[in-house]
């Protein structure tokens, strides 16, 4: 079975950042304003309620169970990278980051809420969908959305992205693969999730985002080979954002990051902390994972909580 990992990074307005591999990585942003391997032994039958190629409706309702799409006993290929994955019916790219209708929330008017949610969507796209970033570039467009008053956070982010280590490798800020070793298959990244808003304390508004991104990848030197290996990596990102009433100290048009979180499946998590997710291809899987078993497509569950003693984790399918 294919491995995965999770991480946690949390920041308050007074406490420094911390990143722990193999812990729940819960996420959030404060918007300032104005700016597996397919487990062949676990193949499930069933119907999704539509045709095999019919696109799913936007993922606004909170899911209550794992997707019931049939998991075909077949591996992805260059021409069919979504074969065997529920993501084959998901929307693609930034357009899949659906924004709810903006309404006044707490003391925040609807117009500001609309801008806040759009900014969160822009951050997600810049950090987890930009093709250059996915192939290893710095997520400069995403970091430019962060409030410059967060000097410590931005300094730490750029340091960890440029000098990754086990103390911090930048994975909390961006999804990156080693472009010299692997490349995306085609132009599509499958995306599904939801964004919600609710009133917080003191008239503040909370904007929560929970999105799953699915990437199909090949070896960098495999381009048109019919026998080229293809695999998928599933990354779930959660963010909770605050939109603050007037009177707080912030830079208009920026995001204030308080927490951010992820869970990734389909990677070789025993590799060193180099800032990249390293996909596991079919020929590389050993089946010796001993961590908790999860379905990365089950968006009804919380991000898994792990500690180092639990091992890497096992994905039932990717």
Q: Is the pTM of this model over 0.85?
A: no
Summarize the confidence of residues 95-123 as an average pLDDT.
93
Among the residue ranges 67-81, 99-113, 212-226, 262-276, the one predicted with the least confidence is 67-81
Summarize the confidence of residues 165-182 as an average pLDDT.
93
pLDDT of residue 63: 64
Summarize the confidence of residues 270-296 as an average pLDDT.
80
- Could you give the 3-state DSSP secondary structure of residue 265? strand
Summarize the confidence of residues 112-121 as an average pLDDT.
92
pLDDT of residue 153: 86
The better pLDDT of the pair 238, 33 is held by 238
- 84 sits in the region (left: phi over 0; alpha: psi -120 to 50; else beta) called left
Q: How many CB atoms neighbour CB 282 within 10 A?
A: 13
Q: What percent of the chain has pLDDT over 70?
A: 69
Give the list of residues 6+ apart from residue 248 with CB closer than 8 angstroms, or none: none
pLDDT of residue 268: 84
Residue pLDDT, tens place only, 135-147: 999 999 999 998 8
Q: Using CA atoms, how far apart are residues 207 and 133, in angstroms rounded to an integer?
A: 25
Tokens 């290893």 sit on residue = 136
Flag whether pLDDT at 253 surpasses 70: yes
pLDDT confidence band for 123 (50 / 70 / 90): very high
- Could you give the 3-state DSSP secondary structure of residue 145? coil
pLDDT of residue 314: 80
Q: What is the DSSP string of 257-317?
A: EEEEEEEEESB-TTS--SS---BPPGGG------S-EE-TT-TTSPPPP--GGG-S-EES-
Residue pLDDT, tens place only, 201-225: 989 999 999 999 999 999 998 766 6
Residue pLDDT, tens place only, 10-54: 543 322 222 222 223 333 344 444 432 222 222 222 223 334 555
Residue pLDDT, tens place only, 74-100: 689 999 999 989 999 999 999 999 999
Flag whether pLDDT at 59 surpasses 60: yes
pLDDT confidence band for 3 (50 / 70 / 90): low
């Amino acid at each position: 079975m294919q491995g995965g990992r999770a991480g946690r990074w949390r920041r308050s307005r007074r406490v420094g950042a911390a990143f722990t591999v193999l812990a729940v990585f819960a996420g959030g942003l404060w918007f300032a304003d104005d700016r597996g391997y397919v487990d062949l032994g676990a193949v499930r039958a069933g119907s999704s309620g539509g045709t095999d190629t019919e696109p799913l409706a936007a993922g606004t309702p909170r899911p209550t169970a794992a997707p019931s799409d049939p998991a075909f006993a077949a591996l992805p290929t260059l021409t069919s990278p979504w074969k065997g994955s529920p993501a084959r019916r998901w929307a693609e790219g930034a357009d899949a980051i659906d924004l709810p209708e903006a309404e006044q929330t707490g003391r925040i008017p609807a117009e500001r809420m609309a801008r806040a949610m759009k900014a969160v969507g822009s951050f997600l796209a810049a950090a987890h969908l930009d093709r250059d970033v996915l192939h290893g570039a710095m997520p400069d467009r995403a970091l430019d959305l962060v409030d410059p008053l967060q000097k410590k956070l931005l300094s730490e982010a750029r340091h960890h992205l440029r000098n990754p280590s086990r103390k911090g490798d930048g994975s909390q800020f961006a999804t990156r693969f080693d472009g010299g070793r692997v490349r995306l298959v085609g132009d599509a990244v499958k995306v599904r999730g939801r964004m919600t808003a609710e009133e917080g304390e003191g008239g503040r508004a909370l904007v929560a985002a929970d999105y799953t991104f699915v990437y199909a990848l090949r070896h960098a030197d495999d381009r048109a080979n019919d026998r080229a290996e293809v695999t998928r990596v599933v990354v779930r990102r959660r963010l909770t954002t605050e939109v603050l009433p007037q009177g707080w100290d912030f830079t208009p048009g920026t995001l204030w990051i308080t927490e951010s979180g992820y869970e990734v499946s389909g990677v070789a998590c025993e590799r060193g902390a180099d800032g990249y997710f390293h996909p596991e291809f079919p020929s590389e899987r050993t089946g010796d994972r001993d961590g908790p078993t999860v379905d990365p497509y089950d968006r009804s569950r919380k991000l898994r909580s792990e500690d180092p003693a639990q091992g890497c984790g096992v994905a039932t399918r990717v």
